[in-house]
Chains A and B, each alone.
Chain A
Amino acid sequence: MKNFFYLSLFTIHYSLFTVFFGCGKIQKQKYEGKKVITLWETYSNEEHQVFLDIVSDFEKLNTEIKVNVQRVPFSGMRMKLMTSMITHTAPDIARVDVADPPRLVISKSIIDITPFGAIELARNLVSAAVNSNIFEEKFFIPGSTSSQKHIFGIPDQTTGVALFYNREMFRRAGIKNPPENWDQFVVIAKKLTVDTNGDGKIDQFGFAMDNSLWWSFPFYNTFGVKFLSDDGKNCLLNSDEAKKCLQFQVDLYHKYKVEAGAWQAGSVSCDQGFINKKYAMIFSGPWNVKKFKDSGIDFGIALIPKGKAGTSTNVGGTDMVVLREAKHPKECYEFLEYLVSVDAQKKWCNLLGQIPVNLKAYSYIDTSKNPEIKVFMEQMKTAIARPPVIDYDQLEYVMNQEIYTARTREKTVEKALEDAVKRINEEILNY
């Protein structure tokens, strides 16, 4: 009993001691005479190393500036940024998801970098990537009707999807080239949808598609669907183009029977079905190239088939924004300018096999090492930015539900889109 008593005393004292005294503060490094910029980024390990290298190059060229790079887990960045802004502990620059700028602009959390010359800089960047950072005055100034454009961030990384196809399946079906338009796509997909073992069940599908809005943008963009009115107050998804587009997605599954139903809950995902050689064509991005290569599939990448509006795709990636309380906004902008410079982009993209955000860097990319990136670079030229809504997550939520009900035929395409328009207008645009 005595031992137990002493043990309890020890453990309690240990806990109290470590909690109260084991709390040495971080020794802030001193950079005499330098302007220190704190930057929060969310890169992967591999990207982080290259980023540090680019930062080091910048510091050599700008000896009066020190960029203090700090890593934040990607999955926690939004929450971390929100809480840090409440308590005024936010960094000078943060890397945010491409969907975040509208909310940050409205809440005045990030600064307008137009006065530093960002409009000029943006002319050389992939338009779809930079467009997610450009806002008209009427968007962020209450009561304004001005269409004057302002830039609030610079894309540091851009990406989008293209059409991945299994070359081996194409050869077996006697198909030489990937489809160039949606009509060819349906014909080819029908040839690729087969019962390979003769048991009466289809076990190889021509195509597989995801359910979410982001993955459906290639359809909407190629069909020329406009999401919002020019003033951003009304959703236009009840247009004829939108109806034709969603009907086409529904038909791929129900009418042409070439789509595997990968958008349904519990089904084999597009990536996994492509690896398992169940799906002949899918939409995917550069991030999966290595994974597919490692799994030993013989695959090719082509542009998204053309629709009425030509070929196009969605836009993913991230932006660098300068936060409201940045102590040296001009120096922050100088760093962002360097980050998208040809030199930095050349290094970043050649080492990591990514799509440059600076169009001038395209010619410096060594595509011999990453031949696939060539298609993505071409595809990004016609990519279209997401609709500029404050709550993109909510837009995804509403659209995913309505797309699903149309694809399952719980609702007609017309009804699903009418409902989507109503909900988007009420819940997102005019809440």
Chain B
Amino acid sequence: MDLKDLLALKEKELAARKPIVIRCCTAAGCLSSRGEAVKERLERAVYDAGLGERVEVRGVGCLRLCCQGPLVQVDPDNLLYERVTPEEAGSIVDALNGEKVSVARGNPNDPFFTKQQSIVLANSGVVDPNRIESYVAADGYQALHQALHEMTPKAVVEEMLASGLRGRGGAGYPTGLKWATVQKAAGAKKYVICNADEGDPGAFMDRSVLESDPHSVLEGMALGAYAVGADQGYIYVRAEYPLAIARLQTAINQARRLGVLGSAVFESPFHFNVDLRIGAGAFVCGEETALMASVEGKRGTPRPRPPFPAESGLWNCPTLINNVETFANVPAILRRGGAWFAGIGTERSKGTKVFALAGKIRNTGLIEVPMGTPLRVIVEEMGGGAPDGASIKAVQTGGPSGGCIPAEHLDTPVDYDSLNKLGSIMGSGGMIVMDDSTRMVDVARFFMEFCMDESCGKCIPCRAGTVQIHGLLAKVLAGEATARDLGQLEELCDLVKNTSLCGLGQTAPNPVLSTLRFFRREYEELLLPDPFAVKLAVPEGTVSVEIR
């Protein structure tokens, strides 16, 4: 396989395209609403109507507006159909002949779609994730060819540094710097790992990327491997994502067959193999050192850093470990240049970010917006606000490691630094909207319960601290706590935050601290009066003083 073959494959695929394309969402969300049956019914209807020459029914990845699934989009008329049932699906095909359609029509010009800017999701909902040809037709694997034949590994890293891309897994470490460190690290054997252990409850971006466009992740990993000099890659996926696992396996097999993975990629001396590693349901394995222990087949417990994985990672070899979304950004950056990418977003947060919008909001689904987009635009314009006339109370970002941003701060631009300032984090991109009916203390308890269950038990502050914090929160909720307990809660949060070994423990108190910061009243309303507070008898007419 060389560039000529690749371009020929693209031309062949484009030439085979039919004038009308019916795109059916076959991501996990829509499949659970009988999306597969809808697709089958559409294929049969096209065949029955004798339109096989003109119409293509294509199963694609996520069409983003998950709450209205299964979604079907018809090109080139740009018609969107929502909540399609298998029974009604045929009428979409009838509509092509000018008949009346019985399926509910969506509005593809809703701000939910028009305010998005796609880099990571550019192929999502367009290419068929089960066919590599479909990805090649969308300029896939051209960046890899270009890098292997026209760029040195150093130049690839330079381009990544110029792009200003920061890790999309949550911490936001500059990707270019990480790549440069692994490149410089001494060692004959190096590894590339893709962290697809998307454990944050309320986040499903990585799942959608893997299900919709697995090849972009593979291409990004291959580019990373070329840049740092690795020849073996692992993708660590959660066992909870069976569809993503199946599509990745298909993608890896197809890429090997085509010669874009394996030995002598694009007739160059570059070798790269990718294997899947399936997680087994441990949240802590999203932490990089724990993840590597799990890849080695051990209990997923973290270890102290340094040494960082870039120097000593998997089997003590230098290891490049990045998140799914980070790798999915790479092919586009190399195809269009780091400077182009750096032109999007804010000064310190470049590019776009994919968010999973969920919770008490009208439009739930997947969005990709430039960094720096105000939260208000995301939840009110794109998300359509809270349903049933309720008002938005807070937006939770960053899962159990993040915090709640209250409604009065909705004008905050969404970037790494602004969210940090509010005591929350960007996290991997889960965004849960909460309305007035949500009790914030209960939310804090919910997240603490999560961290308590998921603590691996290696270090004491996290193992014991999360249990104690959870106990205190339960006490507050039961109406049995006093102001002293609240003080102890804060002290304990501070301790767990500063003394835990890994990111899980260090960020576990965040939901408590942020709700205490913005919704302290809700905690205080649940407190018992302090039994030690003394009321002094004061002469009538003066202001009463309470001493605690």
Is the A/B pair a real complex?
no
Residues of B within 8 A of A (CB): none
